[in-house]
């Protein structure tokens, strides 16, 4: 008789195999875990260790869900104005983020097909599922990212960490760009208290501030509040992985 026990510890995942009373314990990872679990098992990990990277993993059949976090940083993004031949580039600071990802896993090919991806902004690193999420102040994100006809293909769970880079290297446009941040005011040359409320306004403002001060970071005070991590996960992943 053989029994398999999966233990999700604070800093590792282990698989214990017990055969006729003899125990063998081996460390593993998410990739190997997929091969161990049967297709009708529903798995949800607790928050995984580490400040950034994959924070949570869901699995039901060949459908997987991930919560991936990335730190704040500076990126060069493009914005496609309708009257311009080429996208306008802005080098801007962006907040830390939590990315919700749902994929279908094909065990035969080892590839994953992207189904839904929804990024959120973070004001602080995630410490618990009660932490608050915020709207990410960029266009082309509604209930999930609009990738167009060129949805990314990924293989390993680790390769999912390339999705933010793939997203930000594609030019933005005006689609799904309303109500992404709290409007604020700026004094500009010849004008006082100009209201900034559109995404291009924000990109221009941040690019100008960063050019003048390389230590400038994203102004988290303008973020639009969403629900807690727990509530957003329940809504996003629930229909596919419950």
* Same domain (yes/no): 43, 26: no
Contact 14, 25 (CB under 8 A): yes
* Same domain (yes/no): 57, 172: yes
- Per the rule left: phi > 0, alpha: psi between -120 and 50, beta: everything else, 177 is alpha
List, in order, residues 6 or more apart from 50 with CB less than 8 Å away: none
pLDDT in tens, the chain (242 residues): 556 677 776 667 887 777 777 787 877 776 666 656 545 567 889 999 999 999 999 988 889 999 999 999 999 999 998 877 889 999 999 999 999 999 988 777 777 888 899 999 999 999 999 999 999 999 999 999 988 777 787 877 788 899 999 999 999 998 988 899 999 888 766 666 768 889 999 999 999 999 999 999 999 999 999 999 999 999 999 877 76
Domain of 63?
Answer: 39-241
* Same domain (yes/no): 14, 51: no
* Same domain (yes/no): 20, 82: no
Strands (E), 12-131: 13-19, 22-28, 42-44, 53-60, 63-70, 73-79, 88-94, 96-105, 112-122
* Same domain (yes/no): 159, 113: yes
Tell me the pTM: 0.81
* Same domain (yes/no): 44, 32: no
* Same domain (yes/no): 226, 162: yes
* Same domain (yes/no): 60, 114: yes
What total number of domains does the chain contain? Answer: 2
* Same domain (yes/no): 59, 134: yes
* Same domain (yes/no): 102, 198: yes
* Same domain (yes/no): 26, 57: no
Instruction: List, as own/partner pairs, every contact residues 194-200 make where C-beta atoms lie below 8 angstroms and the sequence separation is at least 24, other chains included.
Output: 199/79, 199/137, 199/138, 199/139, 199/172, 199/174, 200/79, 200/81
* Same domain (yes/no): 69, 170: yes
């Amino acid at each position: 008789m053989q029994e398999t026990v999966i233990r999700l510890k604070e800093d590792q995942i282990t698989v214990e195999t017990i055969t006729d009373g003899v125990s063998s314990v081996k460390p593993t990872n998410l990739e190997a875990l997929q091969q161990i679990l049967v297709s009708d098992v529903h798995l949800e990990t607790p928050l995984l260790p580490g400040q950034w990277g994959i924070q949570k993993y869901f699995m039901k059949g060949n459908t997987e869900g991930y919560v991936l976090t990335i730190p704040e940083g500076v990126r060069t993004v493009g914005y496609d104005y309708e009257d311009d031949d080429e996208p306008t580039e802005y080098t801007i600071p962006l907040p830390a983020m939590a990315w919700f990802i749902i994929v279908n896993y094909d065990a035969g090919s080892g590839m994953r097909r992207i189904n839904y991806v929804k990024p959120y902004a973070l004001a602080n690193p995630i410490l618990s599922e009660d932490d608050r999420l915020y709207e990410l102040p960029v266009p082309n994100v509604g209930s999930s990212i609009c990738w167009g006809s060129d949805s990314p293909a990924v293989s390993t769970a680790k390769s999912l960490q390339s999705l933010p880079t793939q997203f930000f290297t594609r030019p933005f446009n005006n689609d799904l760009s309303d109500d992404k941040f709290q409007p604020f005011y700026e004094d500009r040359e010849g004008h006082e208290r100009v209201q900034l409320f559109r995404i291009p306004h924000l990109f221009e403002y941040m690019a100008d501030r960063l050019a003048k001060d390389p230590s400038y970071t994203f102004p988290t005070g303008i973020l639009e509040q969403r629900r807690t991590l727990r509530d957003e996960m329940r809504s996003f992943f629930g229909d596919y992985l419950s």
